[in-house]
Structure formats: C-alpha cells, structure tokens
Chain A
Amino acid sequence: MLARDARAVADLKKSRKQKTESKKRKSETKRTIMNALQRVVLFAVMLAASTALAQSPEAKLLDVLKSNATRPEKADACRELGRVGTQAAVAPLAALLGDEQLADMARHGLENIPDPAAGAALRVALGQLKGKFLVGVIASLGVRRDAQAVEPLARLLGDADSGVAAAAAMALGKIGTGAAAAALKPALGKNSAAGEALLRCAEALPDQAVALYDAVRGAAGPAYLKTAATRGAILARGAAGLPLLLEQLGSADPAMFKVALGAGRELPGANVTQALAAEVGKFTPEKQGLVIQMLGDRHDVAAAPALLALAGQGAGEVRVAAIRALSQMGCTAAVPLLGGLAVSGEAEIAKAALSALAGFQGHDVDAAIVALLNRPDAKLRAVGVELVGRRRITGACAELLRLTADADTQVSAASFKVLGDIAGPSEITPLLAALQKTATPQAAEDALAAICARQAQATGAVVIQKAVYGDLPDGPSADVTAKVNELIRAGKQAFEVSNGSFGDPASGRVKRLQVDYSVEGRPRSAKADEGELLKLDATTAAPAVVVEPLLAAYAQAQGAPKLSILALLRTAGGAKALAVVREASGAGDAALRETALRALCDWPTAEVLPDLEKLARTSTDDKFKILALRGYLRLIPLRAATPAANAAVLKEAMGLCGRDEERRLALAALGNVPAPEALALAATYLDNASLKEEAGLAAVAIAESIAKSHPDQVGEVMKQLTKTSKNPAVLKRARKLAGLGRKNK
C-alpha cells in the first residue's frame, strides 16, 4: 500500500506538471483567442484539481471501504487510514466498530488518527456496543488517554461483564487524571483491574501518589499487587520512604525482602545508603551478600566505611561481595586494603581483590594503583605492576622502567612484560639501556620486540593505483578506481564488495574486485569476491622513531645485548635495518653471523629473496640451507611479478628442495599463483604418493582462479585430480571444475 501511495502521489504530481505546462503553452501561442476559450481552459484546470483531491491516498482508502473489496483489502485500508487518515476517515471507520469482521481493524485506524473526532466517535460507541466490541473500544480510549471518556468509563467499572469492567479500569488507569483516580478508588477490591489502574494513576499524579499506593497496599488483593504498591509507596515518599524500606528489608516475607532489594537500588540519598549499610550486619551471610550487592549498585561511597570493614573480615562470600561493591562504587580509599588482600594467603579473597582493582570504575583510582609500585613489599609491587598492565595505565611507564632494575626478579620481569604491552616509541631507548644491564635480558628483548611489532603494525598512507570490478580476470569489468579512492578518503580500509557500491558490469555473474595500491610507496594488491569484505593492508615497516634507536644501540652494544638488538631489527624491518642485518650475516663473529642469518631467513618482506636464494643454493650449513629455502618459498608469492613469472621461480625453487617437507611448502605457495604454468607444475605431483594431497589442494585453488580463461587445461587436470585425491572437500571442488571444463568445450 505504501508503494502504491508513492506511485499515486508521483502520478498526481506528474499530472499537475503536465497540466500546468499545457496551460503555459496555450497562453503563449493563443493570446488572441477569445475569453470564452480561456474560461474553458480554466475550467479544465479546476477539474484536474478536483480529480486530484478525489485521488488522495485517504480518499482511495475510503473508496476501498465503500466498495465490494475483499476482507483483507478492507482490513488493510483500515490499517492504512491509521497512518494517513484525517477527520474524513473517522465516520467510515466508526461505522465498522460493531462489524464482526472489521471492528478490530477499524480501531487500528481510529486509535492513531490524532483528530479529536476519533475520540468522540469512540466515546459515542461506548453506549452502542457490548462484549468484545465494547472491550476493544474501551481499550482504544485508554490508548488515546482520552480524558473526556472518564465519566462514561467510570460508569462501566461495575459492568456485569467482568471483561468490560476490567477494561474500563485499565483504560482509566492509562488516562491517569485525578478524575480517573477518583473514579477508580471505590472500585478497589471489587474490580479486578482497579489496583493496577491505580498504580498507573499514582505514576501520573505525584501529589496523590503516596495515598494511592497506600490505598492499594491496604486493600484486599493478590500478593504481587501489594508488593508493587509497596515499592511505589517507598519511592513516592522519597527520603521519608526510608523507614518503610528498612521495614521490608527486615521482613520475613521473601517477596517483601525482594521489594526492598529492588527499591533499595532506586531510592536516592546518602542517608539512605548509610542506613542500609548499617543494617547489613543484622542478616544471615546469604542475605548479607544480597544487601551488599544492592549497596554496590547504588554507586554511593557513603557505604564505603561499612563495606571496608566487611571486606576486611568475616565470612568469605560476604567479603567477596563487599570487595566487588567497593570496586563498583569506585571507592579510591579502598585501594590500599584491596592491594593487601590481593597478596593475602586466601586464594578466593586475593582473586576477588585483584579482579576488583583491575575492574575499578573510572580512572581516579589509577594514581592509588601506581602508588603500589613504591611499596616496600615486593608482592605488593608485583600486584601494582600487574594492575598497571591490566588497566593499561600508560602514564606509569616511567615507574615501570625504574622497576625493570628492581631487586626482585619477578617484579623486574613483570615490569618488562607490562612495558611490552603498553609502552610506545619513547620508551625504546631507555629499554635498550635496560636490556644491556638487566639480569632478565630475555624479558627485555621480548618487551622491545612487542613494542617494535606494534609500531610496525601502524598504518601508513594508502594510494590506490587501480581498482577493477567485474567478471575477472577476462570477463566484462569496470574501472572503479575513483570509487575506491573515495572510500579510502572517507577513512575506510575495509568495505563490502557489492553492486551497490561498484555497479553491475557483469550482470548475473559473481564478480570480483581487484585493487592494486601502495602503502608508503610499497606496492600491494588485494581482491575479494562479491558479497565479501575487501580489506586493504595498510601496515608499514616500523618508523624511524623505532629503527634509529635500535641502530644506535646496536652500534654501541657488545655481546649478548648486541645479538638481541640484531634480532629486534628483523621485527622492526625497513631498508636501514636490512642493510645492517646483511652486513652482520657476513661477520667473522659466528654468533653475530648466525643471529643475522636467522633474521634474514625470517625477514617479513620480499627484498631478501636474492639473499635467501643464494643461501639456499650455496650454504654449506644444512640448517641455514633449509631455513633459507623455507623463507624463500614463503616470500615468492609476495614478489611484485606476474603470476607466470612467480610460477617459474617456484618451479626452480622446487629443484632446490631436498626434502618433501619443503616441497609441500612450495606446493602451498604455488596454490596462491593463478597461472596455467602453476597448474601444470602442480599437476606433475598429483601422482606422487607423498605429495599428491598438497598438490591437489594447490591445483584446485589455481584452477578456481583460472577456470574461465583456461577451461580445457582446468578440466583435464581436475579429471586427473578426481582419480588421485582422497580429500572429500578437494574432490567436490575438482568435480565441479571438471564439469565447467566440459561445458565450455
């Protein structure tokens, strides 16, 4: 109906525009025509306007009601009149309020028509209907909060039909005026809904709320109504509700105790908090826990003295509850106590205290936690270090650096660990100095490695070279470079590949987006299929602020720290670091040379491919020969070269592999090379008993990438694969591709 309305409105506008243009043309070209003809034109315009009014959405809906339309059509028209109807719709809808088939739908319309005529029509209907029709009309008057309906509704409170009587009470409750409340009071205890209705009135009438809640509390009725009224009576009294709250807190009736737990969270005031806190000691441990939990939810430090006492001694579950409550309310004064409890011998208490300190609301408490780092007790210092890490208090890095030289090795090692988690580039130089003095060098190296890795993951500027969307690689496609650039400028580095974003250059086919781009001048590419997210990797090598301190420290360092720094250069990456590592790989010092060679073999970018190829071919040390070969195989697919060229390099590398372990790596790398040459190479291993599954995985991955451009070769290799592979997933993919090959013949 909404779409039809939109079309109708559009047609109407179009019609008006055409008429106006027509009128203009006529007035310009026939200025000399007699006035009589002008009158004819004017009449035509008026007729068009009259027709337009008759075709308004509301008029059309009313026509449906008048017509012989089906029941669902009329029901829908009623519903739509609730959306667009005016005073004009009231009478036709009101006429249906007693209709067996459409009465409820007529209310759908009338309830939402704001014109007062709708309320008037419903009030009139009160005197004309019975049973479910009357109940419905009463409910609608309640929804409309029709204050003028109070009197007639009040007369229905004692109706012989209990459904009508209850509906009238509920409606009066929703109307919620003083007159409605006055009408409801005598019905309390007689009308099943009067109690709830009075609760509603109490919410709407703050001046009468206490009296109304008390009236419901005092009347006969179900327990749930009394508990609801008691809750209201406490809250409506404000600060004066405290005695009633405390009374329920001490009640032996579990339902009233629950009322107190709920209302105790809602009634404001520090005096209320203190009074509630003073009661805690009077309960059994189980109830104490619930009351303490309630105090915690008040987030009021007025409860702190009582809770501090409870956290320090007593039953375990009560102490745990108190510890959590202190954390919830962000009580800074509790930090020393909780710190002490965190190193106490009682495991449950210590765990609760540590978690509470870690989860303390707000940052006001951070200073108190940092103060733990200066405590004489090493255990407390260790707790402080852990908390600084868990709360990621970066302002405490200077303190942590100091503690890397702590006499307690646990504190020292923990400080390095936390620095690794939270420190930034400015802590690298002091950490390098600490590395050369510490008794826990591995901890220092790990911390520096973590910082370097984090900085290396910092994102650089992305420049889009070319973006193509379509049935790639050789089907219809469109250049979408401008659109991708627009997304990048909008700050997005991941976006969904969809026709909605990139158009539909190959209708009916699953398309792919291929993006060639660079990050800080380094070429990269990414691709994703329609319906997937394309993510552009914008990470860069570590910036100079990381590399330069490492290089400076490396130049000065001796012995084991020098080796550590050399290893760190691999994590940092970049041209300067690589140059130093290359130089060290030819050093006379065996330890330095070995560390450098390991760094080269593990280098993250393709610049080291020539180094690794040379090592793999010429090294006399089998260990480095294998490591280099593995690194070489890993990096080949990252080369900025054509797939065919990468396939050729991998074929050559396969010849360097002396063991199946490396051949498997080569085949895995081959799977990422979408070229017919790569498929042919993979196919040569399909009959190799030891390598056929890896070869199959590679072949099917390549085949999926080139199936459309090389259907014959793909079909042939996939048929071969279906005879050799035992992997059900590979077989399924291969059979599908084999079918594609035959079909395209």
Chain B
Amino acid sequence: MKKMTGGISRRTFLAAAVAPLIVKAQTLGRGGATPPSERIILGGIGIGHRGRHDLQWMIAEKDVQFVAICDAWKQRRESVKQVVDRYYGNTNCAMYRDIREFLATRSDIDAVLITTGDRWHALASVMAMRAGKDVYSEKPSSMTIAEGQAVVQTAARFGRIYQTGTQRLSEANFVAANELLRLGRLGKVHTVRAHIAGGSAVTSREWAAGQPEPARDELDWDEWLGPCPWRPFNQRYVDGGWRGQYDFHTGSIGEWGAHTFAQCQVALGLGETSAVSYEPVAAASGDGMAVRFANGVQMVLQQGGWHGSCGVRYEGTEGWVACADGYSRPEVSSPALLADYTKLVQDYAARTGRALNHVRNFFDCVKSRQKTVANEMVMHRSMSTVHGANICMWLNRKLTLDPLKEEFVGDAEANRLCSRAMRAPWQI
C-alpha cells in the first residue's frame, strides 16, 4: 500500500519525511514564526505506520502545532509522543487511551489526524466532528454506505472541514491526467480504468485463535475493536493482520479502489454520484469488473497492467492517459498531450486555488472553510461505488444502484448490506 503526499517524488518525499525531525526543532512550539492565534492545533487518533508519514508532513507545516495523541495501544502512543516531543524540543505532547476522554477534554484542538485501521475511520471522524474538530482521515472513509452518509451529514451539521488521505488528488501527475480529461483533450471519454489490489473481494469471517488479552493500559482490545463485532484478542490483527477480514477491511476492491475510484470519479466530474450498474466477475479480486455511471462511461476494475500502485487510465475517442505511482510523467497516447504539462498543472492550481500538497490543502481549507479536494461527499460517493462493487461480488449478481435514493433497485438483500450494527455503546 504505497502512498505519497504532495506533488513531489517518492525520493524527495522520503527525505522530507525524515528531515523535519532533525532540522526543524526550533520552528514551532517555541513561539515560532506563526502567531499563536493563527496556528492550527492538531491532535492524532491511532497513528501507526501510515500515520507517521502523514504526521511528519503535517508537523512540518509552519502554522500547525501537534499537541496530543490518542491510541488504544500504549507502544504507539508513546512512539508518537517521542517523535513529536523530539521535534518541538519539549515534553508537551499529551497521551490518551480513550477517544471519548480525548475528545471531551481537548476543546483546544482544532483538527485531528485519524489514521487508525479502516474499521474506525468513519466513527472516529463522526465523533471528532461532533466535538467540533476538523478531520483529516486516512482512506477508506467508510466501511459501509451508511457510514459514508453519516460522515457527510455530520460534516454538514457541524460545519466541519473533512479530507480523506487520497493524496493523489493533489499530486501533479494525477492532476495533469485529470486535466487532460476535463479539458477534452482525450475526446469523448468512454472508459476509465481503476487499479485494484490483489486478494479477494469476499473477505474472511474466520476468527484467529484467541490469545491472553493484554493489560488495558498496554492495549485496550475493546477500544481497538471499537464498533466491530467482538472477537478474541490476537496480536496478528493489531500488527496489520486485520486486512482481509470482513469486519475490519474493504477487501481487494476497497484497498486501492478507495484511492482510484475517487481519482476516476473526480476526473470525470462525477465526484458527487456513484456508479449505477454492477456486474460480478469470476476473478475473486473483482479484476475485470466493469461498473457503469449514469452517463454511460464505464469504469473497469483492473488488477494488472500497471507499473506502479494506484493507477488510473482514462480512454477517450482521441487518446488516452494513464498514471500510477512512480511514473515520471503520465503515459499518453500521443506526446503532444503532455507538451504543456507544466501549464496544465499550474493552471489547475491557479483555477482551483488548491495546493499541490494534500495536507496543505486540508490546512488551507481549515482556515478558509472551502471544501477540500477529497471532501466528505467525494469520498462517500466514490466509496459507495466501492461498496456497490463489493456487495455485487458478495451476492454474485447484477445490481443497479439509484444514486439519488442511495438504494439498490429491487434488491432488498443488497440494501440490507449497506449498513452494519455497531457494537454498543458506539454509534454514528
């Protein structure tokens, strides 16, 4: 699951991910360049491996100050505190085990970074927004269509800013590909292709053998499970083995579709709707499934054929463009399409006013109250396409989704799979 933030190369990114910890210690937290009144006070929820990347990008922003970490796992919250304290040169980063306590007591925090496992993304986002925080959450934004609806409704109800960590929406190569489509340079686009991961869309419901539960302060297993059905503790889940589990993960389609479906739908100008028709395929991963939008454009879920992760390809009557991580430039049917690559990207930035840096786009919007590039509606609608594809694979039959009602047409069973009860006391 390779991810990057911002419109820079992987090498630069990796260098930047380490460098701030060493050289920027005096920039913030000691009365740095940004006046306190203009700083965004940031907290974190469930920051692990991926979250550390996000955190190091965020902490490097001059108008951001990270003050507290909430994590059910002591080892991780202490690790984050160590990183943050070393960066600021103090010992001020507070630690919390319980998300309810964290949100109830830290009214000073403006925004939170949520990088828990998938099972917690929507619930933590909803809880944080209810507590008046703006939210940057890792993908996927939801485990079900109902969760996505709750995120959208809560953001509107509380007037909060929300961004999902689908950072390719802010990277120059992907932006250029989207602009080629938007400007009509590909002609009439009939097909887009979205990279999906390997594995299976039909995820496992098996329980791993139980192990002795750690002390609550070491690892709060009940909090770790959160809204999901109870099952016995096993360290394998905590170490990343939650992937591939029905309760915790959105499977092969959601793993990368959470990125690539959003990329395709934004490029097509379909960020506020979802695919309407779904047809199952024999491949367990969903490879080759073609879903269609109301305007007739089909999106093909494609596992192979990329030489980088999270690839997308847009095909029109006059040409095509493809892009994935690691491409030095998008691949195109004709070099002429990229002749004004730099201007394409610059004009996008000028037209939208968006930074080509995903976390910066979030912080800018926290201040301006503009919608982010990966806002709650875009993410909910593209994730609804992911969920639609998953449900189609689970039921192994054709489905039609009414994107206005957000219901499958004439299929009560499919509609019943749009939500899951949450374990008490959690609710959205």
Contacts and interface: CB of A to CB of B under 8 A. Distances in A.
Interface of A: 1-3, 6, 72, 75-76, 79, 82-84, 101, 103-105, 107-108, 111-112, 114, 132-133, 135-136, 139-140, 142-143, 163, 167, 170, 196, 199-200, 203, 222-225, 227-228, 231-232, 254, 258-259, 261-263, 265, 290, 293-294, 296-297, 324, 327-328, 352, 355-356, 358-359, 361, 389-390, 392, 421, 450, 453-454, 457, 491, 494, 496, 498, 500, 531-533
Nearest to B334: A457
Given A83-B416, A359-B351, A261 B368 contact: yes
Given A327-B351, A500-B287, A2 B202 contact: yes
30 contacts: A82-B416, A83-B416, A104-B230, A105-B229, A107-B424, A108-B229, A108-B420, A132-B424, A133-B424, A139-B421, A139-B424, A139-B425, A139-B427, A167-B425, A170-B427, A203-B153, A225-B132, A227-B132, A232-B157, A290-B368, A294-B369, A355-B347, A359-B352, A390-B340, A491-B190, A496-B288, A496-B302, A496-B304, A498-B288, A533-B304
A228 B347 CA distance: 35
Contact of B367 (A6, A290, A531): A290
Nearest to B246: A79
Contact of A356 (B158, B229, B350): B350
A83 B350 contact: no
Contacts of B404: none
B37 to A, nearest CB: 8
Contact of B334 (A163, A296, A454): A454
Contacts of A454: 334, 336
Contacts, number: 169
Contact of A358 (B343, B368, B421): B343
B107 interface: yes
A142 B132 CA distance: 23
Given A223-B107, A293-B353, A450 B347 contact: no
A670 B353 CA distance: 51
B284 to A, nearest CB: 11
A497 B131 CA distance: 51
Nearest to B320: A494
Interface string B222-245: 000000011100000000000000
What are the 5 tightest A-B residue pairs by CB atom distance, in nearest-first order?
Answer: A224-B132, A355-B350, A359-B351, A136-B424, A261-B369
Given A2-B202, A258-B369, A293-B370, A223 B207 contact: no
A459 B395 CA distance: 41
Contact of A75 (B229, B281, B340): B229
Contacts of A79: 205, 229
A612 B207 CA distance: 71
Nearest to A360: B351
Interface in B370-423: 370-371, 394-396, 412-413, 416-417, 419-423
B159 A263 contact: yes
Nearest to B397: A6
A558 to B, nearest CB: 31
Interface residues of B, number: 61
Interface in B104-160: 107, 130-132, 153, 157-159
B305 interface: yes
Contacts of B367: 290
A105 B423 CA distance: 8
B159 A111 contact: no
A479 to B, nearest CB: 22
Contacts of B347: 355, 358-359, 390
B50 interface: no
A358 B369 contact: no
B343 A390 contact: yes
B158 A224 contact: yes
Q: Which of B132, B288, B302, B349 has the most CB of A within 10 A?
A: B132
A84 B413 contact: yes
Contact of A140 (B132, B320, B370, B421): B421
Given A84-B413, A196-B130, A203-B157, A500 B424 contact: no
Contacts of A133: 424
Given A224-B158, A390-B343, A104 B350 contact: no
B413 A83 contact: yes
A135 B425 contact: yes
A324 B185 CA distance: 24
B282 interface: yes
Nearest to A386: B343
